[in-house]
Every structure is written in C-alpha cells, then in structure tokens.
C-alpha cells in the first residue's frame, strides 16, 4: 500500500528499543524489569519489619525515602498523577510507615501535614482499602472490622458453610490470613509504634464501611461458633486454615508469589503462635525481600519475569530479531522450564485437564494464568519443531510440552465463551461481606474482554484459526456482547477502555471478523473520537474505578500504542489519524516526564495501579513494527 509517512524514524526507534532490551536481558535469558505498583507494599514492609523487630535500618530507610519523595504539597499521597484530591488510604499507609521507620517524628512538617489532610477527609475511619484496614487493625491502631470476623468453620468446616472457591485465588490468598487474624483479634504493637488514635475522629477506632449489620452478623457467628454445631470442628478448622496457607507457598516461600499476601500470612502465623524468628517466618521474609526491584527500592506485589520475557522476546522477534539469535533462544530456554507441572486450585473448576500453563513470576509453580500462558506459547512457537541449542530436549518433548500448554489454555475457556485470568467459571458476584475498595473486581475472576481478545489474537495470528469455527464463534459473540454503547470495551488488566478496545479490535480481526462489521466500525470511531490534540491517547486510572472512560488529557506510550494497534488492525491503509498517532508515540517515548511512568497496568481498582517498565518497550515495539509490516517500507 502506498503511504506518505517516512518510516525511517520508526526503524531508528525500533533499533534503539531493541538494543536497550538486549542490554537489559539477564544471563539466564529472562528480563527482570520493575513491576512498580506504588507505595502500599513498601509501607507494609516497613510495618512488618518493625513488628518482627528486624532492625535492617539501611533497607528500611531506603523504602522510607522513596515513600517520602512522593508526598504532595497538601500533605497527601496519590495513587496516580491526576488523582485530584489525593488518596486517603495511601496517605494513611505512607505517613504511618514513615513514623514507624523513624524518618520523621509526629511534629515534623510532613507528618503534621499528612495528619491534617487525613482528618480533613474524615480521619482514618473513612479508610476503605482492605490492606490498609488490616494493617491498622493488626498493628493495634484500630478495631478489627466485624465483616472480617467470620468464624473459620464457616470457611473450613467439614463441610464449610461458604465455598471459599467462589472467590478468586488472589482474593483467597489475602482473605484467609486476614480472617485468621480477625478471629483472634490479633494486634501486635511494637514498642516503637506511633500512636494514631487522634488520626481518627471522635475517638472511634472503627471503619465506616463496616456497617452495624455486620456487627450483628459477627455476634451471631460468635454465638453459633460456641454452640455444639461447631464444637467438634472448630479446632480442625483452624488447622485446615493454617494448612491452606502452607500448601500454597512457592519455592521462594511466598504465598502464591504475592508479597502482600505473604506479609499477611506472616502476621497470621504470629496469631497462630509461631515465634517471630521461626525458620518459616525467616524464609518468608527473605522471599518477600527477593521481590525488590533491581533499579529502585521497591517491594513488588509480584515480579513479572515470565510475562516480560515472553512478551519482550515476541516483540523483538516481530521487530526483526531472528529466532535463531542467542537472545531469543536464551529467552525460550528460560520459558520452557517455567511451564507448570502441578495440579493446583485451577483444577477444582477444570478437572481432568493436565497442567501446562505458565504463571506471571519467576518462581510461580501453583498459579498459572491464561494471559501468561498464551504469551509463552507465542514466544515458544518457533522452537516447538526443533531441539534446543544444547540438544537436551528432543523434538517430541518440545512439541508435547507446547501442546499441553495449548490444551490448558483452551480448556480454561468459560461457558460464556470468554477466558478468565486464573480459574475457570469464577463467580461473577462477590460475597456481601467483602465491603472494601475494589472488592467487586478482585474477589472474582470472570471472563474479561482483554484476556479473551488476546487469546483470540494468538489463535488467529499464530495458529491461523478463524471464527468460521463454531467454537470460536461463541468467543466472538462473548466479546461483541461486552461492547459499551459508545463503541468501547472495558479492559480489566490495563487502563482501561483504550486497553480493552485496542485488544478487542486486534482479537476480532485476527480470527476473521470483517473490518466493516458494525461493532468494529463503532469501536474505531470511538478511538478516533478520543484522540488527543498531539495525536496520541491517554486515559486516567480513574476510569478503572468509575467504570467509564475518563480522559487523561495527556498521551502515554502504552495507551497510544494500544489505540494504534486497534486502528491499524482494522484499517487497510494508513490514515492521517494513524500517522499522527505514530508521530505522537515517537514523541511520548522521548519524553522524560510523568506521562512516561504513568501507571497503565490495573491491579486493584481504587487501590493499586501498576507502572510496568516493560510496557514502554513491548507495546511501542509491536505497534511500530505492525505499522511497517502492514503499510510498506522504504
């Protein structure tokens, strides 16, 4: 196709990004780029170390300095740049951690300003995040919410009265240790702990989103728990709850690789009577510390080695690096041995399926997910018909392992035609006792448009499957059914409607949905309608919380790339709007301001947002190469 745009600047940027990535690759073939999810984990880590009386002052100080550097002039902390009035929960955690770290006293201006901000927002009683409430309660600063004081026999009785597996796996990993602590009314206040009682209003050390009805339920639960109904099962329930956590420790002794869940588990173990310096707790602390980023003092919620390695190696291959190159072969060797071989919680709703998926993190052996699995399968596809460079794996074994991975992904599809992240047929309605911020999103694991669309993109682009298959037609119907009235789609794991819409257009067209399909045309028109004046795209993290598109009024690299991916997928020839977008993408990659590090990864809406360092490599590389491949070259 004839085009007017000079692609030489695109090629130069592709070469620059590729060279940077090759320098960043680890000797074992992995990419270990930071998964920067904000300050929650850093604040919680300081609290944990103080409670355990682990006096690693240089490490604590490095975390505290990072936290202090992000305080706003009004005394608050934000979750993202354009959060207009700051964030109460983030401010409470950050200021508490700085006091606990000893970086400031209660009379220093940063703490005075933080306290003033907190009280102006209604005090700590207005905190709504689960993690913030748990840490304030477990460290003796607040009363335990009644909503969390569910007797363990309700969850771990024989049989339980509530099926814990209606929750998502990541919710279970955080809820189980929390309920253990809440049942014991566990509170560990270290001698150096600050006193936050006057950060509440009117001396009420309670949380507003724990309404009176839950106090009645809690009293009822307590009454029932002490009757004959649970007399013989209560002790066994405690043992089962403890074993539930122990059974889900990964090789680095983290709970399903989540630092947040691992910290809660350590506190739950203390509530169960473990010694502060028991071998298990010491191993778990070391496991959490292994999640620190290499380029900044930040404890990651989870590390992203498998995701980054799979996606970056694929992006480099698309950009022209041959599969025979040492870098890509090394990445493939790394990914091969990260394929999971254990039956785990995913098998409860997906029985009779052999394991074969991949997880997000380097040491993940129990928690595979669809998105990482399709990424790994795509990255490994060039190598399934040959032995590895050392000849250690024969052709048949390579193919059989790859096929197991593909079978696992295909088996994970839900009955509605969509794919979830971690567990098949997840509940769509969170239990009513989960009243914390973002519960409706994190408590369940239903089908999502972005994961479904990326799976369709893999099946269409790499395996050449089409929607003529009645099986895939069901997935097309699922995606189309989720389109918003304005033409956009919501993306659960990225921010948010730009992410979902770009992915949907790529996935639908990859398996044969026509570019002139009404839904496709409507989505493309929506993307064009929100294009910024500079030619790029940007969306606020607030979209993820309020569930409708909120403009950022600035352009970010990854969101510009996602929008362009969708438009390129449906446009037979280059257009002025696409070319303006490409120019804006190149400019966004060269800016050294907040837009470059704006979080475009979704964690927990209203609480955790993620800046993937890899996002500014993966998506721009794929977009720039896609433009050249489709519209020609000089």
Segment 534-545, tens digit of pLDDT: 999 999 999 999
Q: What's the CA gap between 209 and 160, in Å, rounded?
A: 26
Tokens standing for residue 217 = 């339920």
Q: Identify which of 208, 199, 205 has the alpha carbon closest to the alpha carbon of residue 187.
A: 205
The pLDDT score that the predictor gives to residue 203 is 82
Residue 617 — pLDDT band, cuts 50, 70, 90?
very high
Identify the weakest region by mean pLDDT among 258-267, 425-434, 498-507: 425-434
Buried-state track 265-280, b at ≥16 Cβ within 10 A, e below 16 = bbbbbbbbeeeeeeee
The pLDDT score that the predictor gives to residue 442 is 80
Burial class (CB in 10 A: 0-12, 13-18, 19+), 337: exposed
With a pLDDT cut of 90, the percent of the chain lying above it is: 84
Residue 3 has pLDDT above 60, yes or no: no
Residues identified as active-site: 371
The pLDDT score that the predictor gives to residue 404 is 97
Tokens standing for residue 147 = 């909503």
The pLDDT score that the predictor gives to residue 394 is 61
Handedness of CA 401, 411, 245, 156 (dihedral sign): negative
- Give me the count of residues in the chain: 634
Q: What's the CA gap between 220 and 316, in Å, rounded?
A: 59
Residue 214 — pLDDT band, cuts 50, 70, 90?
very low
Q: What are the angstrom distances between the C-alpha of 552 and each of 175, 567, 594?
A: 33, 20, 12
pLDDT digits (tens, 9 = 90+) for 36-59: 999 999 999 999 999 999 999 999
Residue 632 — pLDDT band, cuts 50, 70, 90?
confident
| Cβ 422 vs Cβ 369: under 8 Å | yes
Taking the domains of the chain in order of start, what are their residue ranges?
A: 8-33+304-631, 36-289
Residue 215 has pLDDT above 80, yes or no: no
The pLDDT score that the predictor gives to residue 390 is 44
Section 176-200 average pLDDT: 95
Identify the weakest region by mean pLDDT among 148-152, 559-563, 630-634: 630-634
Buried-state track 425-449, b at ≥16 Cβ within 10 A, e below 16 = bbbeebbebbbbbbbebbbbbbbbb
| Cβ 345 vs Cβ 165: under 8 Å | yes
Q: What is the 3-state secondary structure (H, E, C) of 280-335?
A: HHHHHHHHHHCCECCCCCCECCCCCHHHHHHHHHHHHHHCCCCCCCHHHHHHHHHH
Section 19-29 average pLDDT: 98
Q: Identify which of 294, 366, 232 has the alpha carbon closest to the alpha carbon of residue 32.
A: 294
Which secondary-structure segment (H or E) carries 628?
helix 615-631
Tokens standing for residue 174 = 């955080």
The pLDDT score that the predictor gives to residue 229 is 52
Residue 607 half-sphere exposure toward CB, CA atoms < 13 A: 23
Q: Identify which of 271, 127, 130 has the alpha carbon closest to the alpha carbon of residue 204.
A: 127
Please tell me whether the peptide bond between 24 and the residue prior to it is cis, using omega within 30 degrees of 0: no
358, β-bridge pairs: 369
Rg (Cα) of the chain, in Å, rounded? 25
The pLDDT score that the predictor gives to residue 616 is 98
Fold of 8-33+304-631: Glycosyltransferase (1.50.10)
Q: State how far Cα 551 lies from the chain centre.
A: 22
pLDDT digits (tens, 9 = 90+) for 326-349: 999 999 999 999 999 999 999 999
The pLDDT score that the predictor gives to residue 441 is 77
The string of DSSP letters for 401-425 reads: HHHHHHHHHHHT--TTS-B-SSSTT
The pLDDT score that the predictor gives to residue 501 is 98
Q: What's the CA gap between 280 and 303, in Å, rounded?
A: 21
Query: Is the model more confident about 634 or about 178?
Result: 178
The residue to which tokens 């739950």 are assigned: 268
Burial class (CB in 10 A: 0-12, 13-18, 19+), 188: middle
Q: Identify which of 163, 166, 78 has the alpha carbon closest to the alpha carbon of residue 426.
A: 166
Q: Identify which of 306, 304, 258 has the alpha carbon closest to the alpha carbon of residue 284.
A: 258
Section 228-233 average pLDDT: 51
Q: Identify which of 611, 543, 615 has the alpha carbon closest to the alpha carbon of residue 585.
A: 615
Query: Is the model more confident about 195 or about 225?
Result: 195
What pTM, to 2 d.p., does this model score? 0.94
β strands within 10-119, DSSP E: 35-36
Q: What's the CA gap between 354 and 66, in Å, rounded?
A: 44
Q: What's the CA gap between 177 and 361, in Å, rounded?
A: 22
Fold of 36-289: Glycosyltransferase (1.50.10)
The pLDDT score that the predictor gives to residue 527 is 98
pLDDT digits (tens, 9 = 90+) for 292-319: 999 999 999 999 999 999 999 999 999 9
Handedness of CA 52, 54, 57, 63 (dihedral sign): negative
Q: Identify which of 405, 387, 406 has the alpha carbon closest to the alpha carbon of residue 395.
A: 387
Q: Identify which of 572, 413, 603, 588 has the alpha carbon closest to the alpha carbon of residue 495.
A: 603
Residue 143 has pLDDT above 60, yes or no: yes
Residue 433 — pLDDT band, cuts 50, 70, 90?
low
Which secondary-structure segment (H or E) carries 47?
helix 40-51
Section 170-182 average pLDDT: 96
| Cβ 198 vs Cβ 116: under 8 Å | no
Question: 3-class DSSP state for residue 485?
Answer: coil
With a pLDDT cut of 70, the percent of the chain lying above it is: 92
Identify the weakest region by mean pLDDT among 66-80, 96-110, 151-165, 556-570: 151-165
Residue 227 has pLDDT above 90, yes or no: no
Assess whether the region 8-33+304-631 and the region 36-289 belong to the same CATH fold: yes
The pLDDT score that the predictor gives to residue 468 is 86
Residue 389 — pLDDT band, cuts 50, 70, 90?
very low
pLDDT digits (tens, 9 = 90+) for 543-595: 999 999 999 999 999 999 999 999 999 999 999 999 999 999 999 999 999 99
């Amino acid at each position: 196709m004839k085009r007017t745009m000079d692609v030489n600047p695109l090629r130069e940027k592709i070469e620059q990004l590729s060279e940077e990535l090759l320098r960043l690759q680890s000797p074992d073939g992995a990419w270990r780029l930071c998964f920067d999810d904000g300050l929650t984990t850093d604040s919680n880590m300081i609290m944990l170390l103080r409670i355990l009386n682990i006096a690693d002052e240089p490490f604590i100080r490095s975390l505290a300095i990072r936290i202090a550097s992000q305080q706003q002039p009004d005394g608050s902390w934000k979750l993202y740049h354009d959060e207009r009035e700051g964030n109460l929960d983030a401010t409470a955690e950050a200021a508490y951690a700085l006091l606990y770290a000893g970086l400031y006293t209660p009379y220093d201006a940063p703490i005075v300003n933080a306290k003033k901000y907190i009280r102006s927002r209604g005090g700590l009683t207005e905190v709504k995040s689960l993690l913030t409430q748990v840490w304030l309660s477990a460290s003796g600063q607040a009363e335990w919410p009644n909503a969390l004081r569910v007797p363990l026999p309700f969850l771990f009785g024989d049989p339980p009265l509530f099926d814990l597996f209606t929750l998502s796996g990541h919710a279970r990993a955080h809820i189980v240790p929390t309920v253990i602590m809440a049942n014991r009314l566990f509170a560990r206040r270290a001698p150096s702990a600050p006193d936050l009682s006057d950060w509440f209003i009117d001396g009420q050390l309670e949380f507003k989103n724990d309404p009176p009805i839950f106090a009645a339920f809690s009293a009822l639960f307590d009454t029932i728990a002490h009757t004959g109904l649970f007399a013989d099962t209560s002790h066994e329930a405690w043992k089962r709850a403890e074993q539930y956590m122990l059974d889900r420790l990964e090789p680095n002794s983290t709970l399903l690789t989540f630092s947040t869940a691992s910290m809660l588990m350590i506190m739950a173990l203390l509530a169960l009577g473990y010694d502060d310096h028991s071998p298990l707790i010491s191993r778990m602390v070391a496991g959490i510390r292994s999640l620190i980023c290499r380029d900044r003092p930040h404890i990651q919620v989870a590390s992203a080695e498998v995701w980054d390695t799979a996606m970056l190696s694929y992006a480099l291959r698309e950009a022209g690096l041959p599969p025979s190159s040492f870098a890509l072969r090394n990445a493939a060797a790394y990914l091969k041995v990260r394929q999971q071989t254990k039956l785990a919680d995913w098998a409860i709703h997906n029985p009779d399926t052999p394991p074969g998926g991949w997880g997000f993190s380097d040491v993940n052996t129990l928690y595979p997910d669809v998105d990482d699995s399709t990424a790994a399968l795509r990255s490994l596809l060039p190598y399934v018909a040959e032995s590895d460079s050392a000849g250690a794996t024969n052709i048949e074994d390579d193919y059989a392992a790859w096929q197991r991975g593909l079978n696992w992904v295909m088996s994970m599809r839900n009955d509605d035609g969509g794919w979830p992240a971690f567990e098949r047929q997840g509940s769509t309605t969170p239990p009513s006792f989960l009243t914390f911020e973002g519960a409706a999103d994190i408590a369940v694991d239903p089908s999502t448009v972005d994961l479904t669309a990326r799976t369709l993109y893999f099946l269409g682009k790499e395996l050449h499957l089409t929607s003529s298959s009645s099986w895939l037609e069901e997935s097309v119907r699922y995606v189309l059914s989720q389109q918003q009235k304005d033409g956009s789609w919501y993306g659960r794991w990225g921010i948010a409607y730009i992410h979902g819409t770009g992915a949907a257009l790529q996935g639908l067209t990859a398996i044969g949905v026509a570019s002139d399909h009404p839904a496709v045309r409507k989505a493309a028109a929506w993307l064009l309608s929100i294009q910024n004046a500079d030619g790029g795209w940007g969306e606020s993290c607030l979209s993820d919380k309020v569930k409708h598109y909120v403009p950022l009024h600035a352009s970010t690299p990854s969101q510009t790339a996602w929008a362009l991916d969708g438009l390129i997928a449906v446009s037979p020839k280059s257009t002025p709007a696409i070319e303006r977008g490409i120019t804006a993408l190149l400019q966004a990659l060269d800016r050294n301001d907040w837009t470059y590090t704006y979080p475009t990864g979704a964690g927990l809406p209203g609480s955790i947002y993620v800046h993937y360092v890899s996002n500014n490599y993966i998506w721009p590389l794929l977009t720039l190469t896609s433009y050249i491949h489709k519209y020609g070259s000089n």
